[in-house]
Structure 1
Amino acid sequence: MPLQVSDYSWQQTKTAVFLSLPLKGVCVRDTDVFCTENYLKVNFPPFLFEAFLYAPIDDENSKAKVGNDTIVFTLYKKEAAMWETLSVTGVDKEMMQRIRERSVLQAQERAKEATEAKAAAKRKDQKYALSVMMKIEEEERKKIEDMKENERIKATKELEAWKEYQRKAEEQKKIQREEKLCQKEKQIKEERKKLKSKSLTGNSAPRNLATKGRNSENIFTEKLKEDSIPAPRSVGSIKINFTPRVFPTALRESQVAEEEEWLHKQAEARRAMNTHIPELCDLKEEEKNPEWLKDKGNKLFATENYLAAINAYNLAIRLNNKIPLLYLNRAACHLKLKNLHKTIEDSSKAYRIMKRHLRLIHPTELYKLMLRRFGM
């Protein structure tokens, strides 16, 4: 039963009410203060104080100070007037209960409005932050595009400069060739003049000189042709030999007889398996291949469809129960489904098969292989 506090003191002005409430041992942590326009409640077990205020107050701006075994309230009035009493008199229990309920509803509505206002402010802040981030990203994107454009312009200028340099070099070479041709023509003309001046008598001498001039002219034209026309390319042929695909290995590494025997045994084993498993008769040809089923199980495992992957591995194991990787893959599926006993069983089967057929893998290496397979 709470103790009602009645030995309080209060003073007032036209705009405020000052209430002093003595509570022994009062502290902020254990004190519950509830205040609305017309109702004030203080709960500090085992003490309880209630006041149905004479007139409405501004509960948002009102204050309370806790300390020195006392709570001091500063209640600001909504209307400037002097109160006759702190709490209204002549209020029955039903009226008190209605005032309490109305005060609680007002407090709840105010808390709801505050929550909505806080959420709206938060959304506004998020929207502003998002707009700022989008603006920053847009600026960064524009900056990157400008850098790319500048690099493209720079590369284009460098390419144009290189083309201009090549064009000038070609023109320089062409000019040099023309100058050489002019010099050679001048030399031929000078030689002809000298030969004409030396020819004084006889027809044989002029003929010899003329033939000599023609020979020199032919030599000159041949040299010009040699300088201007490049030499023809050398003709060659490349012979390509393809290795016949008798088996997946290269011909230099394959042993045809052993491989044909192995293929024959595989075909017989598949036929025998198909006769022992009646439901395989309705499957397609590729669905009877354990490797194809293993790849299908791996794809289903990647899409997290572990039960379908287990079904694919089960059928592959029924077709060929000597492939340890099928047991390891099925163990990985069981591990994802938390079937730990089946995981251990499949891992042990894979270990026994690899130990029996390979005998080259150390148990430590096999353990590491299993860990990598399970993604641990």
Structure 2
Amino acid sequence: MKKILVLLVATFICSGLFAQGIEFEHGTFNDALAKAKKENKLVFMDCYTSWCGPCKYLAKTIFPQKEVGDYYNKNFVNVKMDMEKGEGVALCKKYGVSSFPTLLFIDANGKVVHKLVGGMPAEDLIKGGKAALNPEMRIGVLRAKYKCGNRDLKFLMTYLNAVKAIYDRETMAIVAKEIISKTSLEKYMNKEQFYVISAAKFPYGSKEFKYLLKNKDKIKEITDNYEYAILYGSAYDKHMQKFAKKCKSLEELNKEVERCNKEFPIYNIGNTKKNLKYTYYIANNLLQTWYDAKVKDAEVYKGENSYVYIYHGMCDEILRTPKLAASQKIVDDFIKIAQNFAADRENGIIMGNIMLAKLYLHKKDKKNAAKAFDIFYTENGKAGGNNTHPSVTKLKEAIDKL
């Protein structure tokens, strides 16, 4: 009996030592609201999905940290909700959650007062929690002040960090440009504040981008490889895409790509030229040329695992590009390709049928769209696929509404 008591005490002590991190409630959302009201706290809700990588990163790496747990357990009633299961589905719609993870701070009446978006280090998560507890630092209050004309430099920096925390890239670019216009690019040419320049997204050809191009060696020293590549790569990509739509020939387009490559080496220039060629074809209404070239490129991968997925990507590209989607010849021909995949029970039945479901939806053929979707859903479930992914549920909803 004495040994059992010792073991129980030891277990209790060890569980106390290792019970670190955020303690999440296990009741309903309404239970959490009731507890928040009783304790005069906000509810912190982790809106996640089973397939979301950054969600898993937070759950495994950030939430278990003692520093994070100490702060969140003291100040919030914490809940986790899978946005694709149980009451999470209704909460997802209620709060308009469209990206994952979304971290909501909700008052006892169920109103969102602050939010964060995406995976982040512990320091930023705690910083976000502190902002939620300070009414003057909440995103809604800051937006209102900005709309009312507050352009104080200190406020703009605060607002930039707030919209950065919710991954509002459009607002980030606007605010960052305002900040730099009030000061200078040089002020933010350091490791701690370079994010202001990155957020601004200065376009190719602007005086600011020319400055960044002249100082790329210094910038490489104060940024990581990813930020460095995105800073220049995104500007060049937008410029070349725009050029591809207005140039008069493929020869002219290739010369511009080579010129850009001399200014800043383009990663995988061959693939870039190919993609720009496709843009040129669509801009110049060479739709059949686009289609034939795409099919030819896809056929190179026949026999490989990626083969059907390349065609699936092509299917989506056709349907989201108005000119291509309006071509009955192209759509009908691609239906035949999708049917061939769907007939292959070993390698193509799943992806072939989801392509058919999308294509028949486009043609407003509800019967065939529903039939293809049902086959996809059944076979995907058998294979262990994710039938709760938003792309699947949205497709089903769209077919049902036909």
The structure carrying a bigger helix percent of its residues is 2
TM-score > 0.5, shorter chain as reference: no
TM-score tier after normalising by the smaller chain length: under 0.3
Highest CA radius of gyration, 1 or 2? 1
TM-score by length of 2: 0.21
The structure carrying a bigger strand percent of its residues is 1
TM-score by length of 1: 0.22
